[in-house]
Structure formats: C-alpha cells, structure tokens
Amino acid sequence: MSLIVSSTSFAQAGKEVKDTKYRRSSLHTILIESENFPKKDQVIGAYYNAPFPDKFDDHTIGEKSFDPKKYGLVKESSDEEMTSAINKYFTNNKIANKLVAKWFNRKSNGTFDISLVSERGLINASFTDIKTAEASAEGKALLQSAGLELIGNTFVVVSKMKFIENEPVARVTYEAAIVAANKLTISLLRNKAIDVAEKAYNKAKEGYSVWTTSYLYKLKWDDDTSNTFYQDYWIDNSTSGNLAEKKAKFDKSDLFQLELIGSENSTSLVTFSLNGKRTENQIINLAVTRNVDKVYSKLQKKYDVFKTKVPLFTGNPITAKIGLKEGIEAGDKFEVLEANMDPKTGIIEYKRKGTIKVTKNRIWDNRYTGGLPLLDDDGNEINSALEATTFEGGGKYYPGMLIRQIN
C-alpha cells in the first residue's frame, strides 16, 4: 500500500503541504435562465464571473445555461415541475453522455483515451490506453476502482437565481405588524410595538435580496454502466470496423443517466449603503458569489455524497484551508482520514485516525472579496491574520491527511 500525501515529499508534523494531491469529486454547473428581475444583467454576469468551486475538479462541458420554458416549464410553481424540465433538458441534450465523453477525452472522430482518468485518479502512466490496461487483472481493477471513485462522483449543480427588491416584502410584514400593534389596548405596549415595527421596516426595506435555488445531480456510474461502455462504445486508434457507426451509437445511447440527489436554497441581503467604499457592481458581485458559495455549503452539509475531503494544511497546530466560505462554524466536527492506495488495483482505503472540531474564534474568513478588503456590515475593514481554520483534537496528525465533515 502506498501512502497518499503529496506530489513532492512526505510531510512532517507542523510543516505545510502546498501541493497535496488526492482524488476529488468533479463538477459541472448550469444556470437556469430566468424571467426579468432587477439588475438582471449584473447578477447573471456576476454568476458567470464567479470563481469555480475550488474543492472540485472542473468538469465543465460547454453548456452553461438553458431556458426551462423550452423543456415544458409553464410556471416556476414547484420543484417537481422544475426538475421535470431539467430532466428533459438533460435527456434532449445528452448531458450525461457529454460528461462521460469528457472523462475519456473524446475526440471529434469518436476515439477515447484514459489520460484524464489517469491524471485525476493518480494512476501511474504504465497503463497508457484501455487495451494495455485491460490486458492485465491489475489494469482492469485500476480502471474499475478509479472509475467508481472518480466518474461515479461526477456532479451537476443546476441553479436558478432571483434578485428581489426588499421594500415590497418588508412593507407587507410592516403593515401586518402595525395591524397587530393597533389591536393592543394598552397604549404603552401599542406604541412600543409600532416603534419596533417601524425600526424593523426601515432596516429591512433597504436594497435587494439575492435568492439561489440549486438542484444537485449525480452521474450514475456502476459496474453495469462501466462494462457496457467499455464493451459496446469504446473506440480508440486500434479499433477496427465501422467507426462512424460506433461513434453514432454512443451519441444516441440512453445508457448514461443523471440522478437527482436533492436541492437547497440560499438568500443574501444586498444593500448599497457602505459609504461609497464599494461600487454597486462590486457589491452585487460579492453578494451573488457568496450566495452561490452558501448554497454549495448547504448542499454539502445536507447530502453526504456531495461532501468533499480537504487536506490538513498543518499538523501542529491542526489547520486546514477551509472557512466561512464553506459554512464552517465553531464546534463543527470532522473525521481525519489517512489515504492509502494499493498500487496494483488503484483502490484507496480511507482509514479514520481520529476526529477534530473547529476551534472557536479561529475560523478563517475565506469568503469571496473580488480582490477588495473584507468589510463588516457597517463598512469597516476587517483585519485578520488567519490563513486557515484551526481545529482541536487528540492524535498525531500531519499535513496532507484528509478531513471530512461529519454530523
């Protein structure tokens, strides 16, 4: 068994590992095209310009948005109707096929190779093609294990966004509060309730709210799918026969599917009252990007299959490069894993070495800033020397060990 720590050297406790390599989930993101809403061009632009989630391998396949009305959506009244439109979009555009095609570096003539699987799976280059790999038991096992852990952890997140003026919503709440306050017979209590309602309204009416709803899908990749793909659809430079026919067979196949895991919602307040320290565009960019980050962190906390592993940055003190962007809170628990790969089969065994929890007041603020200084809600600059989140827990840990959040 070989220990997976980093691409350079075995790390010592207390030292930093800056290039840890480990198998990660892959991600493609799609935006649902929405009806008009305030600041739409700025909001959509901010979404497209946001950094790709850095805990995933980028598996973008080209299609970045679609109009759900073209796929049967009449009105956005329920998740069931929206997911029906998403599923139809996936089917009509063969999105799952395209995800598989990217995994195997498919060329315009339909030929595949395993270079990307080898790269992301940390597989030695001794198996440079499918024919060589399948000629040995070790090669077959390597492809199967890497496939299940890598290709089987390919996700698509489909998001829809809205940008809503806060004042109309705040006014409805305010008017209801005033009606309730006026029913109070004691004038002192009535006046106090009205005062509270007015203060709440004046605070809540400012600016906008950005809403994000994201649907999480996972590529289905099991033994049957894998075996059928290699036997019936694989083409490389050594393949004989009618290649065009085999290429078309893959393009038309319904073998590859995406399954819905679930959904999450996130909302963030957007105000433009930071004393001119940021422009309107900068504020929208920050709000949209952070809101998308928030919905991703909620999806990971809710669905175990979507949880990412992260390497320890240092072993003493125990730190990792995750923080507020990932929704980390004081007391959150993580398991510490040591990853060992069997070089013959490619199977990675993750052995739990202990548990740790997030230290209070030592959480790294790694939220997106767009290159600008961090500001608090009042527009004051936040000065923090933290470059990682600190954890507490017993055990001998070293940089490069992987951690994963647990409930």
- Sequence-distant (6+) residues with CB within 8 A of 388 are 313, 314, 319, 320, 321, 323, 364
pLDDT grade for 115, boundaries at 50, 70 and 90: confident
CB 353 within 8 A of CB 337: yes
CA–CA dist 291, 161 (Å, integer): 10
HSE-up of 71 (CA within 13 Å, CB side)?
20
Per-residue pLDDT tens digits for 60-101? 998 899 999 999 887 766 888 999 999 999 999 999 999 999
Return the top range by mean pLDDT from 111-115, 127-131, 158-162, 384-388: 158-162
- Sequence-distant (6+) residues with CB within 8 A of 248 are none
| Pairwise pLDDT comparison (123 vs 196), residue with the higher score | 196
Question: Is the residue at 64 inside a domain?
Answer: yes
CA–CA dist 22, 403 (Å, integer): 12
Statement: residue 136 has pLDDT above 70: no
Q: Which of 320, 324, 263, 321 is nearest to 295 (CA)?
A: 263
Give the C-alpha distances (Å, rounded to integers) separating 40 from 33, 46, 52, 313. Answer: 10, 10, 21, 39
Statement: residue 281 has pLDDT above 90: no
Residues 137 and 220 in one domain: yes
Question: Is the residue at 8 inside a domain?
Answer: no
Residues 80 and 32 in one domain: yes
Average pLDDT over residues 113-135: 69
Question: Is the residue at 2 inside a domain?
Answer: no
Residues 44 and 77 in one domain: yes
Q: Tell me the whole-structure pTM to 2 decimals.
A: 0.84
Residues 149 and 252 in one domain: yes
Per-residue pLDDT tens digits for 297-343? 999 999 999 999 999 999 999 999 999 999 999 999 999 999 887 77
Q: Name the token pair of 311.
A: 């390497």
Question: Is the residue at 355 inside a domain?
Answer: yes
Return the top range by mean pLDDT from 6-15, 300-309, 363-372: 300-309
The helix/strand/coil state of 84 is helix
Average pLDDT over residues 273-282: 69
Which structural domain range is residue 177 located in? 163-204
Per-residue pLDDT tens digits for 342-366? 776 667 888 999 999 999 999 999 8
CA–CA dist 91, 102 (Å, integer): 17
Q: Which of 84, 45, 47 is nearest to 68 (CA)?
A: 84
- Amino acid 139: pLDDT: 63
Task: Count the domains in the chain.
Answer: 3
Residues 285 and 177 in one domain: no
